Structure 1
Amino acid sequence: MLAIILASHASAEVVDFVRDVRPIFEKHCYSCHGEAKQKSGLRLDIKSEAFKGGDGYGELVVPGSVDDSPLIELVTSDDEYSRMPPGDHPLSDTEITTLTRWVEQDAVWPDGVDLAVLEDRLDHWSFKPLADVEVPDVANQAWPRNDVDRFVLARLEQAGLRPAPPADPRIWLRRVTLDLTGLPPTPDEMTAFLNDVGDDDSAYEAAVDRLLQSPRYGERWAQHWLDVVRYADTHGFEVNTERPNAWPYRDYVIDAFNNDTPYDQFIREQIVGDALDQNAATGFLITASVLLPGQIGKDEPSKRLARQDSIDEIVVNISQTFLGLSVGCARCHDHKFDPISQHDYYAMQAFVAGVEYADRELDPADAKRRRSESAKLKSELAKLDNQLARFTPLAASGATRPAINSRLNTDRFTPVQTKRVRFTIHATNKLEPCIDELEIFDGEGNNLALASRGATVTSSGSKTQKNRHELRFLNDGRYGNSRSWMSNQTGKGWVEVELAKTAEIQRIAWGRDREGKFADRLATEYTIEVADERGEWTRVADASDRAPLDSGKSKPLAFSTDGLSADEAAEATKLNDRRSELEKRIARLSDIPRAFAGKFRTPDAIHLLRRGDPEQPEDLVAPTVLASFGSVSLPADAPEQQRRAVLADWITDPANPLTARVMVNRIWQGHFGMGIVETASDFGRMGTKPTHPELLDWMARQFIDSGWSVKQLHREIILSATYRQSNRFDEDGFASDADGRLLWRFPTRRLDAEAIRDAMLMTSGRLDYKMGGRGFNLFNQRGGLSGFTPVESFSGDGLRRMIYAHKVRRERDAVFGAFDCPDGGQSTARRIESTTPIQALNLFNSRFTLEQSEAFATRVKSESNADELESQIRRVYQIALNREPAAEEVSDAMPVVRDYGLQSLCRALFNSNEFLFLP
């Protein structure tokens, strides 16, 4: 039909876009591809957008080429699912002819005739430079304590609202202590503060400084950060394998907050910490879930898709954490709302295309030193083994020799002259036999079997792989599985060593794996023979006089002085003591600290992928920052580390309009429960508008000018009159601002799950303040497919703060998981605050609560008059709620304590709103 149309209109009049084409688009296309909606990324009411095409193909129209123009293909398709417009009203033949002639005539679309104007996507408050904001004047000059208050008060006065009166000092100290440290103040801290409160703010300032200097501060605020970056101690997905070395990144974040690491430096360290002596910090790049090699299909397309997914997670983490942008939306097509193209997305991928999800040594220089020192000690250990072998009982002497060991076995026999030795294996504990080194010693302790001494080897056959298990490894002087010989027969085989010349030998040493990593393929029955001058073989040792098999792959060799003279026993003991000391030192040196912080290699070549499909690569893309926000770029062959360094520099450039705004908003949210921008990780066009835009920009500038000090930002906020308000209800405020976004009172909110658990432990007197290191178990296993049984009773490390728990991705803690504790599956910019029956049931009936209630009661009895119930009741209130109980409360509690014990009152207060909510 298309050919007929072309032929019949080849000489027709020129098609006019406004007169002939646009009416067709208006009638059939604009409802799905116009200003209000752009299905498949296609918009036809604006020239520049129309010619770009949609998500599934390139340019919609190729002027002059009907066959290459998707527009004509779509409107003429015989496939009802592909034909446009869809449904029962396709274009008429006349309309198709008009569009075909228009394309054939070079698809002229005059400028200035569009019915709509393309919206400037950069015309958005967060994409503009930080404004030079002046602190506003306010009518109520008496209320503000600092400039933060003037911005808040100006907005309240504009809305006709007034702030709440200040909170009681006791309330304020409990609030700020829980807020900054996640723990309540002690009774002594409360008493000292109340005694210091005077007419000025010195007591408040001193309290804030003390709390910011506490190591508990970093533990609390690191948790907010770990929520955003999706930190967990397992890989996720169905297998959910443990990440045993993820915790150094968690500890790095805690230390960074405690040390008030400048925020721009904090960003750089997390992106390129390997160049800044902060190797654990780059754990940030790979905090997300990832498929392990065994979970990826063996075919190349599956590998390419998995690699794309893993790099995507890094780009998403960087963009939403530091920039508050959903860059990942542009993986398959240009961003629907923000000025981020698909090219931008892949250009961002190019910055991190050399990052692999893997462990890395925390201190490469120290690791190199350790390996070098360990190699020297192992050489000394080998010499000691040779010396100790002199005290091994003679073969077939009637004495029982040590058990066969996978690491090292010595067969000593009466000295014999020979040039050839044969070791024959008759049985193994599993599979084909394997020997990492066969050594033949003379009376002076020289290993005559070494290839370097001219010895040669033959065998019954070898099961070789490239550079593994080759016969030449049998006498190369190097130990370990990777330098071993393996027979090609199950359970049997032989090797023969021919010395450079006839010599007197008296000892054979051999092992399956001297490094102690493998214990299978171990010879359990064997014979050692020597050949005389005529070539006849004589047995000199075998396994018959060995003790029962010791199959442990790393157990130390048994040491005994049985049958030795006093002098021999003394010498052997001295050598063995030295050997034990060396083994301990080697073990310590071998324990090289590592972190799940990524490995860095030559970057992948990054191509723009059509529809995000790795099997449809298009143009090669070089590392380039988001085009709408900068012009920084690198060549496609730029070194890996340089790429990340340049990316970090661009993000931390004070001219970047997003970085400071996003972090200031996160800190504000941490103090008030919601940020000035509610969508804390989305500052794009689909995010919410700021309630106080001028305040946000003013604080962002102050933040940068302070040297990016997070602690200084805390001080500005916490010492404000805004933060010091009570939570008193006001009908006028509620009527016009029910959510309290304008801050006409302090917004009450429930404590986070971790703060509830930590506060209960601290109150009960059981909290372990030990910091850092491997996390404690919340479940009976640290990773796996399913079946995670919760730990119900905790002791030891289990009484540490909850941030030090081993976090299993997508598994919630049995008790506190119900309190909206993120599972590490997705980034949590702001925790929701739900109220469910499960929360009350968990907190009232769990074994954890019962045990802490009992411990709390025991503590109180030890700190007060054990025979005075009223004294005990008062002490419970002082510790748990930082206040004295009212007379009515004492009266109500008395019969409960008398009849059911003090632990019942402790349990009730743990479940009270006053304990669980920030006042």
Structure 2
Amino acid sequence: MYLRLFYLMLAFAGIVFAIQACNSSGSQSIEAQIPDTISYNFHVRPILSDKCFICHGPDANKREAGLRLDIAEEAYKALKEKPSGHALVPFKPKASEVFLRISATDSALIMPPKSSNLKLTSREISVIEKWIKQGAKYERHWAFNPPRTPGIPKVENEDWVRNEIDYFILQKQEQNGVKPNPEADKERLLKRLSLDLTGLPPSIELMDKFLTDGSNNAYGKVVESLLQSQAYGEKMALHWMDVSRYADSHGYQDDNYRSQWPWRDWVIHAFNKNMPYDQFITWQLAGDLMPNATKEQLLATGFNRNHKITEEGGVIDEEYRVEYVTDRTNAFGKALLGVTLECAHCHDHKYDPFSQKEYYQVFAFFNNVKEVGLESTVGGPQTYAKKPLMEISNEDVKKILTFVNKQDTSKLIVSVMGDRDTLRKTFILNRGVYDDHGTEVEAGTPKSILPFGSQNVKNRLGLSKWLFDKRNPLTSRVFVNQVWQEFFGRGIVKTSGDFGMQGELPSHPELLDWLAVDFMNHGWNIKRLVKQIVSSATYRQSAVISADKLKTDPENLLLARAPRYRIPAESVRDVVLASSGLLVKTIGGPSVKPYQPAGLWEAATSGRGILTNYKQDHEGSLYRRGIYTFIKRTVPPPTMSIFDASNRDQCEVKRLNTNTPLQALVMLNDPTVLEASRVLAARLLLENSAVQTKLVKAFRLIVCRNPNEKEIKVLNSYYADQLKVFQQKSQIEKVLAVGEYPIPEKINKRNLAAMMQVMTTIYNLEETITKT
């Protein structure tokens, strides 16, 4: 059956990129009234960027008439083609050529020219006119100004507010004449909360307890309980696996095995113990440089060794060593600063104020690692980790690294960070070419963000201190935004990996700054931040969408309803396993290989190494959480890929979210889903209860709410129909022959096959794998 799915996957492969998720609609955003005070960053620059910069922006090769509008001094000076005129004359729109040309009616004068197919709206023209009247003041890019704590806004409907977040959200809703949704019902709210905090559906016991708890703090008690669950660390770590580009193979053509999973165990442990974010990152960036560094601190630095590593003979050693340093530099910029630093690898950044020299100054922090481009070619266990490395002994696991789930006595090694005794020189690489050395540079940081400062040591530990300097405008904003994204589907800044000039503006800039400052002032406490978000009235709203709200705010920028979107790929697996009772809840340990179509690895291999053939695991290893699924970079798990999981080639701070026919095919044909359906059906049939009671329980386990009268009637009818369908033994055996979990001996197989089809149907409900 899974082979059939594999061929269907190939047939439909071209569809994946053609169909986008409903919540990535390109609909126009809400147009608010023209503000009293016009901001260049938030009101004017977006207009100029969309309509003017293509000819009058930073790209010198496309610039027309020598006019540049993205820099104040260029925009104010006399025009090249009309020395008596100026593009912008502060306070005088009618003396400013920009205003005269965008408001012209003569087709020979109007800007943008008709040939460009661009046109300013009357509102956009009015905004620019008002900006000029107010002095045409340019501003430093908003993200490079340190966040300041804004005052809590005043709102009319204070009864709705539960914490500070809600004031900022409600203020904008009221400004736009929109009212928030009422609170979601208890069942849907609990499912949402449980999926967001643990990645697992709530148990029936938890549902019953919450539904019958009439106290004012019933919701708060559930929040606290879920935050203390060990599954919380697994759910939070999932996003960090994408950020850190964690995988179980080296990548490139040979793509052999690597034993980096103890680092993943550490990440889960760090989230569960609520390690402060500044410590969490400092250990990963520079744990090896800490005074009297412990083995745990050293293990944490595996973050910067998760990049791809080649084992192919014949490669140029220095080329690949530079490639590894480049990866670490780019990941640092995207993950921790939220900027496209990599754009300055070959030349000065075209849009953001980062020079190529500054790129290689950051590069220098990661350029002194005791590593080579090619350490060894594909072979035995000695290649599982690359130097510098650390060995984890059984004694370490007993006394120091107690969170590492080491299951046997075999040698366990992990790639970590470790610098050379002598400083390796760093040069600007002309055009980014590894051996074309330009000017020598020392370690440093972009001045537009925050000068490095003479008090900081020029190593990775000093870089971390710079990163967590409260004057750094990006660190807290970027992480807070990523956390917000995990709960609402999109960040306050939608482009969570790009806070630069070409990134999107924050939908609620004051809220972003308030959260960022509050996060810093409360010890970079991650659980506290998470609790603030899920405790807000904003989060607790119903996801029901009215036709009016869909029309006025299709992308839900105002958050006048809870977002509705499909849960992550790993959580789809987790929901299926947990609801059926198959889930093995063991924390940590080596990655596992569940069911997979035959021949995938064999069709994409160099023929060397232990990952040439896919050797499926058995017994309990088949039923581990999605975060533990083995990721081979060249052939990532197909089911995960179909549900938009990262292939972990590089740092990724936000996944795509598509909705394709392949996803429906997976839910209908995947052996894990079918096996879970069979196992759950058997467990229900073995209970001494009526059929309707069994169906209600199944619905609650899978969908996490009680079915209504119509739903239970349909399921009852479908079960009766399936009993009629399954008359022949061969037909029954064929349906039940899926998965390795044993079928109970004393069970009516006809009833089992019929009930299994009902379970599969419930698993295939959209609501099952959707957060509402």
TM-score, with length taken from structure 1: 0.60
Distance in 1, Cα, partners of 2:579 & 2:409: 41
Distance in 2, Cα, partners of 1:592 & 1:621: 40
Shift of 1:350: 1.0
**Kindly tell me: are residues 603 and 235 of structure 1, through their superposed partners in 2, closer, same or farther at Cα, counting changes over 3 Å?**
farther
**Kindly tell me: are residues 249 and 858 of structure 1, through their superposed partners in 2, closer, same or farther at Cα, counting changes over 3 Å?**
same
SS in 2 for 1:142: helix
Distance in 2, Cα, partners of 1:697 & 1:893: 49
| 1:283 lines up with 2:104 in the alignment | no
| 1:674 lines up with 2:674 in the alignment | no
Partner of 2:695: 873
| 1:631 lines up with 2:421 in the alignment | no
Partner of 1:826: 650
* 1:21-44 deviation line (CA, Å, top 9, x unaligned): xxxxxxxxx999964632399997
| 1:258 lines up with 2:74 in the alignment | no
SS in 2 for 1:901: helix
Equivalent in 433, 441, 448 of residue 621 of structure 1 = 441
Structure 1 segment 844-855 matched on structure 2, within 5 A: 844-855=668-679
| 1:206 lines up with 2:245 in the alignment | no
Partner of 1:596: 415
Shift of 1:273: 1.5
* 1:226-272 deviation line (CA, Å, top 9, x unaligned): 112211111111221211x2111211111111111100111101101
Equivalent in 533, 541, 549 of residue 733 of structure 1 = 549
Partner of 1:908: 761
Q: Contact conserved, 1:33 with 1:39, CA < 8 A, in 2?
A: no
Aligned-partner residue type, residue 345 of structure 2: R
TM-score, with length taken from structure 2: 0.71
Structure 1 segment 566-605 matched on structure 2, within 5 A: 591=410, 593-601=412-420, 602-605=422-425
Structure 1 segment 334-373 matched on structure 2, within 5 A: 334-356=348-370, 358-362=386-390
Q: Contact conserved, 2:450 with 2:471, CA < 8 A, in 1?
A: no
**Kindly tell me: are residues 296 and 346 of structure 1, through their superposed partners in 2, closer, same or farther at Cα, counting changes over 3 Å?**
farther
| 1:857 lines up with 2:715 in the alignment | no
Shift of 1:826: 3.1
* 1:365-388 deviation line (CA, Å, top 9, x unaligned): 999999xxxxxxxxxxxxxxxxxx
Q: Contact conserved, 1:285 with 1:318, CA < 8 A, in 2?
A: no
Q: How many aligned positions are there?
A: 590
Structure 1 segment 340-739 matched on structure 2, within 5 A: 340-356=354-370, 358-362=386-390, 591=410, 593-601=412-420, 602-632=422-452, 643-739=459-555
Distance in 2, Cα, partners of 1:716 & 1:589: 41
**Kindly tell me: are residues 860 and 790 of structure 1, through their superposed partners in 2, closer, same or farther at Cα, counting changes over 3 Å?**
farther
Q: Contact conserved, 1:607 with 1:619, CA < 8 A, in 2?
A: yes
* 1:443-465 deviation line (CA, Å, top 9, x unaligned): xxxxxxxxxxxxxxxxxxxxxxx
Distance in 1, Cα, partners of 2:621 & 2:423: 41
Q: Contact conserved, 2:56 with 2:63, CA < 8 A, in 1?
A: no
Partner of 1:385: none
Partner of 1:477: none
> What residue ranges of structure 1 are gaps of 5+ in the alignment?
1-29, 50-118, 371-587
**Kindly tell me: are residues 365 and 600 of structure 1, through their superposed partners in 2, closer, same or farther at Cα, counting changes over 3 Å?**
farther
Aligned-partner residue type, residue 656 of structure 1: N
**Kindly tell me: are residues 37 and 623 of structure 1, through their superposed partners in 2, closer, same or farther at Cα, counting changes over 3 Å?**
closer
Q: Contact conserved, 2:389 with 2:417, CA < 8 A, in 1?
A: no
**Kindly tell me: are residues 590 and 31 of structure 1, through their superposed partners in 2, closer, same or farther at Cα, counting changes over 3 Å?**
closer
Structure 1 segment 729-878 matched on structure 2, within 5 A: 729-778=545-594, 784-785=605-606, 795-865=619-689, 868-878=690-700
SS in 1 for 2:225: helix
**Kindly tell me: are residues 363 and 838 of structure 1, through their superposed partners in 2, closer, same or farther at Cα, counting changes over 3 Å?**
closer
**Kindly tell me: are residues 839 and 598 of structure 1, through their superposed partners in 2, closer, same or farther at Cα, counting changes over 3 Å?**
same
Distance in 1, Cα, partners of 2:264 & 2:195: 21
Distance in 2, Cα, partners of 1:869 & 1:35: 69
Distance in 1, Cα, partners of 2:183 & 2:711: 26
SS in 1 for 2:350: coil
Equivalent in 181, 190, 209 of residue 192 of structure 1 = 209
Q: Contact conserved, 1:41 with 1:336, CA < 8 A, in 2?
A: no
Aligned-partner residue type, residue 218 of structure 2: A
Structure 1 segment 284-323 matched on structure 2, within 5 A: 284-292=303-311, 294-297=312-315, 302-323=316-337
| 1:268 lines up with 2:282 in the alignment | yes
**Kindly tell me: are residues 317 and 904 of structure 1, through their superposed partners in 2, closer, same or farther at Cα, counting changes over 3 Å?**
same
Partner of 1:232: 247
Distance in 1, Cα, partners of 2:532 & 2:176: 24
Aligned-partner residue type, residue 415 of structure 2: F
Distance in 2, Cα, partners of 1:600 & 1:266: 20
Partner of 1:524: none
* 1:267-305 deviation line (CA, Å, top 9, x unaligned): 10110112342122111112222323x3453xxxx3332
* 1:510-548 deviation line (CA, Å, top 9, x unaligned): xxxxxxxxxxxxxxxxxxxxxxxxxxxxxxxxxxxxxxx
Q: Contact conserved, 2:370 with 2:387, CA < 8 A, in 1?
A: no
Shift of 1:204: 0.8
Computed over aligned residues only, the root mean square deviation of the Cα atoms, in angstroms, reads: 3.2
SS in 2 for 1:619: strand
Distance in 1, Cα, partners of 2:452 & 2:578: 50
> What residue ranges of structure 2 are gaps of 5+ in the alignment?
1-51, 72-135, 372-385, 399-406, 724-752
SS in 1 for 2:193: helix
Q: Contact conserved, 1:864 with 1:875, CA < 8 A, in 2?
A: no
Shift of 1:633: 5.8
User: Max radius of gyration: which structure?
Assistant: 1
Equivalent in 13, 35, 38 of residue 60 of structure 2 = 38
Distance in 2, Cα, partners of 1:667 & 1:369: 31
**Kindly tell me: are residues 615 and 42 of structure 1, through their superposed partners in 2, closer, same or farther at Cα, counting changes over 3 Å?**
farther
Q: Contact conserved, 1:242 with 1:784, CA < 8 A, in 2?
A: no
Shift of 1:592: 5.0
| 1:219 lines up with 2:39 in the alignment | no
Partner of 1:175: 192
**Kindly tell me: are residues 364 and 732 of structure 1, through their superposed partners in 2, closer, same or farther at Cα, counting changes over 3 Å?**
closer
**Kindly tell me: are residues 338 and 766 of structure 1, through their superposed partners in 2, closer, same or farther at Cα, counting changes over 3 Å?**
same
* 1:889-914 deviation line (CA, Å, top 9, x unaligned): 23222243231521111111111112
**Kindly tell me: are residues 801 and 772 of structure 1, through their superposed partners in 2, closer, same or farther at Cα, counting changes over 3 Å?**
same
SS in 1 for 2:638: coil
Distance in 2, Cα, partners of 1:168 & 1:694: 30
Distance in 2, Cα, partners of 1:251 & 1:226: 11
Identity %: 33
**Kindly tell me: are residues 286 and 743 of structure 1, through their superposed partners in 2, closer, same or farther at Cα, counting changes over 3 Å?**
same
| 1:241 lines up with 2:256 in the alignment | yes
Distance in 2, Cα, partners of 1:304 & 1:679: 34
Distance in 2, Cα, partners of 1:589 & 1:183: 28
Q: Contact conserved, 2:298 with 2:417, CA < 8 A, in 1?
A: no
**Kindly tell me: are residues 879 and 808 of structure 1, through their superposed partners in 2, closer, same or farther at Cα, counting changes over 3 Å?**
same
**Kindly tell me: are residues 748 and 590 of structure 1, through their superposed partners in 2, closer, same or farther at Cα, counting changes over 3 Å?**
closer
Deviates more, 1:886-895 or 1:135-144: 886-895
Distance in 2, Cα, partners of 1:695 & 1:812: 38
Distance in 1, Cα, partners of 2:177 & 2:62: 46
Distance in 1, Cα, partners of 2:540 & 2:397: 54
Aligned-partner residue type, residue 183 of structure 1: L
Q: Contact conserved, 2:392 with 2:412, CA < 8 A, in 1?
A: no
* 1:557-580 deviation line (CA, Å, top 9, x unaligned): xxxxxxxxxxxxxxxxxxxxxxxx
Structure whose residues are more often strand by fraction: 1
Aligned-partner residue type, residue 702 of structure 1: D
